[in-house]
């Protein structure tokens, strides 16, 4: 009898203890809500914001790259150093990367940095590659063609776009340097020149110290993406004032180009559950990530984080 009473007391104490813990948790939750100034009505309003019902479940992976073939490199900053992707070691590493993406991500659409007007040429090269194994040096082919063949895809798709120059540039009456002088903006625009030059030199020097995969991992890292993003919001973006925001318009043109790339890529989808791989120059990585992440149709997947 005494043992039963003791057992009953223990059960009651346990219930009281659990109740206290739950009360403490509720108090903590209330305190957290109070500190963020969210009353119950506001919380209910937020929790009931209508969500999308269209049912898209696409995935997007943006693989930022350096340009494998310098002769076709149209970048604003052309590297002095270069990785020879055609060495036996680097060819093996590229093949390993392709196998990993094919096995783990299984892309259904591959989009590359070529203008749509080249699609016929790309299709012909892809057919030739499947017949002969001839693989051009460009990253679109070294990675894209290999992956497309492994996944038995019909081709890789050209999705690039080049918007026209902003009107503010076309209507400038002075050359750019004189324009900056007229607004006394030379120091404002040049303020970050040394920092950005140091970054470009650093990334250039890495090309002489890394294999192809090491460099791809570096340029696709979240740290490098953040640093590259800052290039668009220092220096040139500040050029202009009042009725001529030439620097901001140049930056806007970059967003315009990449938004069009997104649209070209998204419109390739034939189902609501595609897995898209976008192979693009590293400068595009941050903005394409932002755009695809902002779309309700896509889940963004990082190439070296899965």
| Average confidence (pLDDT) per 10 residues, the chain, 306 residues | 47 45 49 65 95 96 93 60 93 98 98 98 97 94 98 98 92 87 93 96 94 97 97 94 90 97 98 98 97 98 90
Residues near 151 by Cβ (< 8 Å), separated by ≥ 6?
A: 102, 106, 107, 108
**Do 62 and 261 meet the contact criterion of CB atoms below 8 Å apart?**
no
Whole-number pLDDT of residue 37 = 78
Whole-number pLDDT of residue 62 = 98
pTM (2 decimals)?
Answer: 0.84
Question: How many secondary structure helices (H) and strands (E) does the chain include?
Answer: 14, 5
**Do 147 and 101 meet the contact criterion of CB atoms below 8 Å apart?**
yes
Q: Which helix (H) or strand (E) holds 282?
A: none
Q: Which helix (H) or strand (E) holds 110?
A: strand 109-112
**Do 138 and 281 meet the contact criterion of CB atoms below 8 Å apart?**
no
The DSSP secondary-structure symbol of 236 reads: G
Whole-number pLDDT of residue 38 = 86
Name the CA dihedral angle for 139, 143, 149, 152, rounded to a multiple of 10 degrees: -110
- Do the bridges between strand 58-65 and strand 157-158 make them parallel or antiparallel, or are there none, so unpaired? unpaired
Whole-number pLDDT of residue 75 = 56
Whole-number pLDDT of residue 24 = 52
Whole-number pLDDT of residue 28 = 52
In the structure encoding, which two tokens stand for residue 254, read together? 């970059």
Whole-number pLDDT of residue 71 = 63
């Amino acid at each position: 009898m005494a043992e039963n009473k003791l057992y009953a007391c223990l059960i009651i104490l346990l219930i009281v203890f659990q109740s206290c813990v739950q009360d403490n948790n509720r108090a903590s939750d209330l305190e957290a809500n109070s500190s963020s100034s969210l009353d119950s009505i506001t919380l209910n309003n937020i929790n009931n914001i209508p969500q999308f019902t269209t049912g898209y479940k696409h995935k997007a992976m943006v693989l930022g790259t350096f340009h494998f073939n310098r002769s076709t490199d149209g970048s604003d900053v052309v590297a002095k150093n270069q990785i020879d992707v055609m060495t036996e070691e680097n060819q093996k590493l590229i093949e390993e990367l392709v196998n990993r993406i094919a096995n783990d991500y299984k892309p259904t659409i591959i989009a590359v940095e070529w203008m749509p007007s080249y699609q016929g040429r790309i299709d012909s090269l892809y057919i030739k590659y499947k017949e002969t194994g001839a693989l051009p040096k460009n990253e679109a082919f070294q990675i894209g063609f290999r992956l497309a063949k492994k996944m038995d895809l019909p081709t890789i798709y050209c999705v690039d776009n080049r918007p026209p120059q902003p009107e503010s540039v076309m209507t400038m009456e002075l050359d750019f340097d004189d324009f900056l002088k007229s607004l006394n903006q030379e120091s404002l625009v040049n303020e970050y020149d040394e920092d950005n030059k140091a970054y470009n030199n650093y990334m250039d020097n890495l090309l002489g110290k890394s294999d192809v995969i090491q460099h791809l991992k570096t340029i696709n890292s979240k740290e490098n993406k953040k640093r590259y993003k800052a290039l668009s919001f220092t220096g040139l973006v500040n050029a202009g004032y009042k009725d001529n925001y030439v620097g901001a318009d140049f930056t806007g043109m970059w967003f315009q180009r990449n938004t069009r790339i997104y649209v070209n890529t998204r419109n390739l989808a034939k189902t609501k559950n595609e897995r898209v791989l976008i192979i693009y120059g590293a400068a595009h990585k941050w903005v394409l990530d932002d755009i695809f992440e902002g779309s309700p149709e896509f889940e963004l997947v990082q190439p070296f984080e899965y």
